[in-house]
Chain A
Amino acid sequence: MKWFIILLSVFFMGGSQFVLADPEQRSVEFGQKDAPRVLRIHSSIDLASFGPLIEGFVQRYPNIRVSYKDINTLEMYNQTIHDSRSPQASLVISSAMDLQIKLVNDGYAQTYHSFLTDQLPNYAQWRHQVFAFSLEPVVMLVNKDRYPGPLPKDRQDILQTIRQYSNFMKGRIGTYDIRKSGVGYLLASQDARQADTTWGRLLEAFGSHQVKTYCCTHEIIDKVASGKLVLGYNLLGSYVAQRVKEDTHLKMILPKDYSLMVMRVGLIPKKAPNAHDAGLFLDYLLTNSVQKRMQVETLMFPIKPDVMTKNTLNILGKSGPQRVVELDQQLLVGRDFAKQYRFIKSWEEALEITH
């Protein structure tokens, strides 16, 4: 219940009573130290994925220095509201699309127009205040060596395996803690929206087999790679694809019944310092060369379908129906106060988490 109270205070009391993340948390600097312009980015993207792109940016614009801070999606949301009078960040990037939409709806973002952002399809931007630059599948990750039975193709296969190898599977499944991770909550709520029954059974099965919950994708991937877990559920495709490329024990699976497709989206807070360079950075992410580089180097999945390589198309092509989570007002429903309260409560009850 404590978590819930915190959430309450976050959403409806302006976050002022919320204990913010360690202010001493170090940010990573890119570019020349004496560059006259500073672009501060708050982002939930792992540096392993984002670093090369930022390097490319400061090389292209040598008089801009990038100060990059990796923050959890939920903290970032609170911080943006908390700082709304004088924001630290010029650019806020997150894969928790619903939180970003809520920031826009509640008037914390400013409008930005450019040739490249105007070309984005409707589902990939909203109000010219929040813009997507990557579209990636939500996947399952299995440890091929440790997974009992045939590898799962969809959610039903997981339920089947759990039933069949009930004892083995106990404590060997990992997924997001939807109370700590904004993305986790988004994915869970979208799962519930897409297939409520399947989601209910899955949650029940997870609960009865002591599922492990984590704040962040890379923790789950690490645990699966090390064999402590055999299955990671609802992970961001880009991180998983990166690890699968290096580690042959691992396999990325796009569920055949349906795959959620989520975007990484950026917004410029109102009154943000150096909003101009923030726009420049968004445009940089949307240029064809950078979009191409994202997938050639397996950093992310690009938003522009016309730059996709054969490899990416193969990965996506193998999946079943894709459910793109679109950037619009519907995402506000998932973050409705009453709905969120009930959803987290039922999640906690299903996973038998005690407070």
Chain B
Amino acid sequence: MWQKFLCRQKPNKGELVSESTPSLRRRFIIGGISIISVIAALAINFVFEYSQRLADISYDRLLRSALLQMDENIGLVHNKVTIDIPWSAFATLAQANDDRVFYKVVSSSQGFITGYRDLNITPPKPPQLDKIQFFDREYSGEMVRFAWLERHLTESESTGTVRIIIGQTRLSREELSSSVTERAVEVVLMIALVAVALIVIGSQLVLRPLHRISRVLEERQPGDLTPINIKTPKETHHLKMVINHFMARLQTNLEQLENYTADAAHQLRTPLASLRALAENARDKTSPERQQEALENIVTQCDSLSQTVTLLLNQAVVSHRMQTNPKEPVDLLIPVTASCREQAITALHKGVSLSLEANVKRAMVFGDAFALQQMMQNLIENAVRYSSLGADQATEVVVRVEEFSNYYRINVIDYGAGIPKEEKKRVFERFYRGRYDTAGSGVGLAMVKDIIDHHTANIIILDTQPNGTTFQIDIAKYQTAHGAEDFML
């Protein structure tokens, strides 16, 4: 586990496939720029059309004004229709500085009256009397905007209609519209540029807290798993929490590992020392019988050591399982029965009879079968071991499983020496060595406590009457939707 942990502290660049996945920032910028470009293009297109219309509206007013001034000055002289074009009419048109002017006045009875003879055009829509029409036509090599009006002669002596056509080249209109467009395009482009700049800067700003967090993590000492406490915006709070949480779990793992290592070393040192002492003893013995006896002791000690190693391994497996394996519905009786069966022979060797009393056929709980079995094994082992410690040799250890309304109760009862009151609270502490714990497991009850905590169960130590100890465990029933009872039946 240490090896793995160290590996994570020095991330191998090759493992992170950052090159192949697109950058969030680049995607953000490219997306933003393309949207802004589309909007800018639409805006420019709109402005272009709008400015053309605007220019036509403005300059059509001049044209209409000139036309009306001319119209006003149509009259009869010696019974002939004629027109006296006022200077002001063309002064109006001269406001379009450089635009050429073409016009023609005709009457239905006399034909051509004045203007340009070859200006023979018809409006695009069917002509309507008294209605001014505006339209573009090419004349004299240039595009010309024309106003066209035909009306009845109102003088009493005259009949028929008179038609006025007046046109103006489009130079000023194009100038106006392009100046409007130019300005608008400038503004649109400026806004677009500002928006792009904001996106670029904004993306930098938005991602900066992430960079800060990663930098802080990178700069840490390999073993530093304390929470990150740099100030970052609210939006990254969750990320920080998750990282901190993850690190806390790592920390727990690491601590457990450290504990386990310490446990193991601790557990192995004493038997090794005693082995060494026994071996020295055997070496120094002169008589073969004594030597034989000493060797016998060594073998016993080896057995005990092997047992301890097994226990440690089991504990490692249990703690690993509790970290990694999800809990599942388990029939409590299975691990209880299995551990009883496993310990029965060992107990008999020590002159203790082990019995299991259960008033249920199934006892479903939510947990880990292996861990529960380890827990039971430890408790039974302890009970068997200490049965022989009392004043008289106790001959019985009882494991009892009872059902209550929403929990199961397991009692492991022995009739040994019992635990003094002041020690009861401390036996679950790691490496606590009371008298009760002479064989040197020292870790067994601590592991029991871990497993109990893992299952959110409860354990208390009671005195057995007349003497001895009872470990009483309450563990919640597994609740299905229909209730545990239904499941059982």
The residues of A with any CB-CB pair to B shorter than 8 Å are 12, 104-107, 122, 126-128, 193, 328-330, 332-333, 336-339, 342
Beta-carbon contact of A342 and B82 below 8 Å: yes
Contact between A107 and B100, CB atoms less than 8 A apart: yes
What CA separation (Å) do A248 and B162 show in the bound complex? 58
B461 within 8 A of A: no
| Distance of A330 Cα from B86 Cα, bound (Å) | 9
Q: Shortest Cβ distance from A238 into chain B, in angstroms? A: 26
Q: Which residue of B lies closest to A107 (CB)?
A: B140
Interface segment among B91-99, B334-342, B375-383, B464-472: the answer is: B91-99
Main secondary structure of the interface of B (DSSP, over half): mixed
**Option from A12, A104, A336 in Cβ contact (under 8 Å) with B117:** A12
Taking a contact as CB atoms under 8 Å apart, the answer to whether B90 and A332 are in contact is yes
In the complex the two chains form, is B94's CB within 8 Å of A333's CB? no
Contact B90 A330 (CB under 8 A): yes
- Give the docked Cα–Cα distance between A333 and B114 (Å): 11
- In the bound assembly, the distance between CA atoms of A338 and B114 in angstroms comes to 6
Query: Which residue of chain B lies nearest to A127 when distances are taken between CB atoms in the complex?
Result: B98
Residues of A contacting B: mostly: helix
CB atoms of B87 and A105 under 8 A apart: no
Indicate if the CB atoms of A339 and B85 lie closer than 8 Å.
yes
A336 touches B85 (CB 8 A): yes
Task: Determine the distance from Cα of A128 to Cα of B171 in the docked complex, in whole angstroms.
Answer: 13
A343's nearest neighbour on chain B, judged by CB, is: B84
Interface residues of B (CB under 8 A from A): 77, 82-87, 89-91, 93-94, 97-102, 105, 113-115, 117, 140-142
- How many contacts A-B (CB < 8 Å)? 54
The 26 sampled A-B contact pairs (Cβ below 8 Å) are: A105-B100, A105-B101, A106-B100, A107-B100, A122-B97, A126-B98, A127-B100, A128-B98, A193-B87, A329-B90, A329-B93, A329-B101, A330-B87, A332-B90, A333-B87, A333-B89, A336-B85, A336-B115, A337-B114, A337-B115, A338-B84, A338-B85, A338-B113, A339-B84, A339-B85, A342-B82
**B145 to A: closest C-beta gap in Å:** 14
Separation of A353 and B100 alpha carbons in the complex (Å): 36
Residues of A near B142 (CB, < 8 A) are 107
Please, which residue of chain B has its CB at the minimum distance from the CB of A13?
A: B117
Identify the 9 closest CB pairs spanning chains A and B, nearest first: A338-B114, A337-B114, A328-B94, A329-B94, A127-B98, A330-B90, A105-B100, A333-B90, A107-B140
A193 proximity list for chain B (CB < 8 A): 87
Q: How far is the CA of A91 from the CA of B400 in the complex (A)?
A: 130
Q: Taking A12-B117, A127-B98 as contacts, is the C-beta distance between A338 and B90 under 8 angstroms?
A: no
Most B CB within 10 A of own CB, among A104, A193, A329, A339: A329
Q: Judge whether B85 and A330 touch: CB under 8 Å.
A: no
Tell me whether A333 and B140 are in contact (CB under 8 A): no
For B84, the chain A residues whose CB sits under 8 A away are: 338-339, 342
Cα–Cα distance between A12 and B83 once the two chains are bound (Å): 17
| With A106-B100, A337-B114, A338-B113 already in contact, 19 other A-B pairs whose C-beta atoms are closer than 8 Å | A12-B117, A105-B100, A107-B100, A107-B141, A127-B100, A128-B98, A329-B93, A329-B94, A330-B90, A330-B91, A333-B90, A336-B114, A337-B115, A338-B83, A338-B84, A338-B85, A338-B105, A338-B114, A342-B84
The closest CB in chain A to the CB of B84 belongs to: A339
Chain B: CB-nearest residue to A330: B90
Complex Cα spacing A337 to B115, Å: 6
Chain A residues with CB under 8 A of B117 = 12
Chain B residues near A128 (CB, 8 Å)?
Answer: 98
Q: State in angstroms the CA–CA spacing of A107 and B102 once bound together.
A: 11
A104: B residues at CB distance < 8 A = 100
- Report the bound CA distance from A126 to B97 in whole Å: 8
Contact assessment for A332 and B101 in the assembled complex, using a CB-CB cutoff below 8 Å: yes
Minimal beta-carbon separation of A5 from chain B (angstroms): 16
Q: State how many angstroms separate the Cβ of A205 from the closest Cβ of chain B.
A: 24
A333→B99 CA distance, assembly (Å): 15
- Closest B residue, CB atoms, query A189: B87
Q: How far is the CB of A102 from chain B (nearest CB, A)?
A: 10
- Contact at B82–A338, with CB atoms within 8 Å? yes
How far is B92's CA from A332's CA once the two chains are assembled, in angstroms?
Answer: 13
By CB atoms of chain A within 10 A, which of B83, B87, B91 has the most? Answer: B87
List chain A residues, Cβ under 8 A from B86. Answer: 333
In the bound assembly, the distance between CA atoms of A336 and B85 in angstroms comes to: 8
Question: In this complex, what residue of B is CB-closest to A338?
Answer: B114
The residue in chain A whose Cβ has the minimal distance to the Cβ of B77 is: A342
Q: Which residues of A contact B114 (CB under 8 A)?
A: 336-339
Which residues of chain A come closer than 8 Å to B98, judged between CB atoms? 126-128
Q: Could you tell me the distance between the alpha carbons of A328 and B90 in the complex, rounded to whole angstroms?
A: 9
Give chain B nearest CB distance to A33 CB in angstroms: 39
| In the bound complex, CA of A106 to CA of B86 (Å) | 20
Name the A residues within 8 Å of B99 (CB-CB).
329
A328 cross-chain contacts in B, Cβ below 8 A: 94, 97
Given A12-B117, A127-B98, A332-B101, A106 and B90 touching (CB < 8 A)?
Answer: no
What residues of B have a CB within 8 angstroms of the CB of A105 in the complex? Answer: 100-102
How near does chain B come to A101, taking the closest CB pair, in angstroms?
A: 10
> How many Å lie between the Cα of A339 and that of B77 in the bound state?
12
Residues in A with CB closer than 8 Å to B87 are 193, 330, 333
Closest beta carbon of chain B to A11's beta carbon, Å: 10
Most buried by B among A12, A105, A122, A337: A337
Distance, CA A103 to CA B381, complexed state (A): 126
Tell me the complex Cα distance, A193–B85, Å.
12
Instruction: Tell me the complex Cα distance, A336–B105, Å.
Output: 11
Other-chain contact of A106, B89, B97, B105, B140 (Cβ < 8 Å): B140
The smallest beta-carbon distance between B241 and chain A, in angstroms, is 72
Once bound together, how far apart are the Cα atoms of A192 and B172, in whole Å? 31
B139 to chain A: closest residue by CB: A107
* C-alpha gap A162/B269 in the complex (Å): 150
Determine the chain A residues whose CB is within 8 A of the CB of B140 once the complex forms.
Answer: 106-107
Residues of A within 8 A of B77 (CB): 342
Q: Give the distance in Å from the alpha carbon of A104 to the alpha carbon of B87 in the complex.
A: 19
Complex Cα–Cα for A105 and B99 (A)? 8
Residues of B within 8 A of A339 (CB): 84-85, 114
C-alpha gap A53/B165 in the complex (Å): 45
B113, B114, B142 interface centre (most CB from chain A within 10 Å): B114
Residues on B with beta carbons closer than 8 Å to the beta carbon of A106: 100, 140
Provide the residues of chain B in CB contact with A342, threshold 8 Å: 77, 82, 84
Closest residue of chain B to A334 (Cβ to Cβ) is B87
B-side contacts of A12, CB under 8 Å = 117
Q: Which residues of B contact A122 (CB under 8 A)?
A: 97
Q: Closest Cβ of chain B: how far from A346's Cβ, in Å?
A: 11
Tell me the complex Cα distance, A193–B86, Å: 10
Bound complex: CA A171 to CA B394 (Å): 170
State the Cβ distance, B455 to closest chain A Cβ, in Å. 97
Residues of B within 8 A of A332 (CB): 90, 101
> For the complex, what is the distance from the CA of A330 to the CA of B113, rounded to whole Å?
19
